[in-house]
């Protein structure tokens, strides 16, 4: 079935380096994408979102890139800090979905080494 998935389950990064987390989606009807950060024992926390009519969006230390041609989404974290250690999920909302149902990918664990 159609789904949102991730390429890398775990990413180790040195403190201060940049992190790139990738996500693939298969439904061309997806029109909205979100990245969430989930720390241990907590609920997902919104990081940044992007609509399908955009290919790049920047926030504070984070950038999301959307490549609709290959159905690929990435999250870039600049100058990764220890507090960035968490599991990151991409999620998508489909144009035809009733309400605001989100479909989540499997997650990437980011480990920041001091």
Partner 1 sequence: NAGVMQNPRHLVRRRGQEARLRCSPMKGHSHVYWYRQLPEEGLKFMVYLQKENIIDESGMPKERFSAEFPKEGPSILRIQQVVRGDSAAYFCASSRLAGGNEQFFGPGTRLTVL
Among the candidate windows 14-22, 57-65, 69-77, 99-107, which touches partner 1 by CB under 8 A?
99-107
CB atoms within 10 A of CB 95: 11
Among 67, 106, 111, 113, binds partner 1 (CB under 8 A): 106
Q: How would you classify residue 41: left for phi > 0, otherwise alpha for psi between -120 and 50, otherwise beta?
A: left
CA angle 1, 56, 82 (to 5 degrees): 85
Q: Please state, in angstroms and rounded to a whole number, the distance separating the CA atoms of residues 96 and 89.
A: 22
Binding-site size for partner 1 (CB under 8 A) equals 25
Binding to partner 1, residues 31-50 (CB under 8 A): 32, 34, 36, 41-46, 49
Name which of 41 and 83 has its Cβ closer to partner 1. Answer: 41
What's the min distance (Å) between Cβ of 71 and partner 1? 17
Instruction: Give the three-class secondary structure for 11.
Output: strand
User: Which residues lie near partner 1 (CB under 8 A)?
Assistant: 4, 32, 34, 36, 41-46, 49, 89, 91, 93, 97-107
């Amino acid at each position: 079935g159609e789904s949102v998935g991730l390429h890398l389950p775990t990413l180790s990064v040195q403190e201060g380096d940049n992190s790139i987390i990738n996500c693939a989606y298969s439904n061309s009807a997806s029109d909205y994408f979100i990245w969430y950060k989930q720390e241990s024992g907590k609920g997902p926390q919104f990081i940044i979102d992007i609509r399908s009519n955009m290919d790049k969006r920047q926030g504070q230390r984070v950038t999301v890139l959307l490549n609709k041609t290959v159905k690929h989404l990435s999250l870039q974290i600049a100058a990764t800090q220890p507090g960035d250690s968490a599991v990151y999920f991409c999620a998508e909302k489909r144009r035809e979905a009733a309400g605001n149902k989100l479909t989540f990918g499997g997650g990437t664990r980011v480990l920041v080494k001091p």
